[in-house]
Amino acid sequence: MLFFTSEEKAAIMRLAMAMVSIDGEIAKKETALCVLVSTNLEMDDSELELSEALDFAQATYIVSNMTKDEKTFVCSFIAKIITTDGVRHPAELKLWNLMSAMCNFHLSLDDAVSKFFDYV
């Protein structure tokens, strides 16, 4: 079981929301996935508000300082967002590459997707 601080939870959700919205369309499956993960992380209203207040650079910095296992969870969640609607939008792939570099993700997109169900 992974433990995340309130700031880490907020950063995870900030990155998730960036990915959900990057293609200009917020799919119901993506929203449901975010609700599932925020519930599993036991996020409260203050943590959700913090996620809205964080900017992208702050969120990537916070995630980049997580442990390898924590980053595996984060990148698997972000990768699952990309693939959950069945379309790998070019904007999502560009954002994935940016997040991967900035957060030091160590998995490919496909490898990350396959890890997601280890956590939920």
What's the average model confidence in pLDDT over 13-32?
Answer: 92
Global pTM?
Answer: 0.94
Whole-angstrom Cα distance, residue 67 to residue 54?
A: 20
What's the average model confidence in pLDDT over 7-24?
Answer: 95
Asked if the 6-118 domain carries CATH number 1.10.3680.10, the reply is: yes
Exposure string over 35-69, b if 16+ CB within 10 A, otherwise e = eebbeebebeeebeebbeebebeebbebbeebeee
Residue 99 DSSP SS3: helix
- Domain ranges in the chain are 6-118
Per-residue model confidence as pLDDT tens digits over 56-113? 999 999 999 999 999 999 999 999 999 998 889 999 999 999 999 999 999 999 999 9
Q: What is the pLDDT of residue 45?
A: 94
Whole-angstrom Cα distance, residue 58 to residue 21?
A: 18
Query: H or E segment at 74?
Result: helix 68-84
Whole-angstrom Cα distance, residue 72 to residue 31?
A: 21
Whole-angstrom Cα distance, residue 63 to residue 73?
A: 11
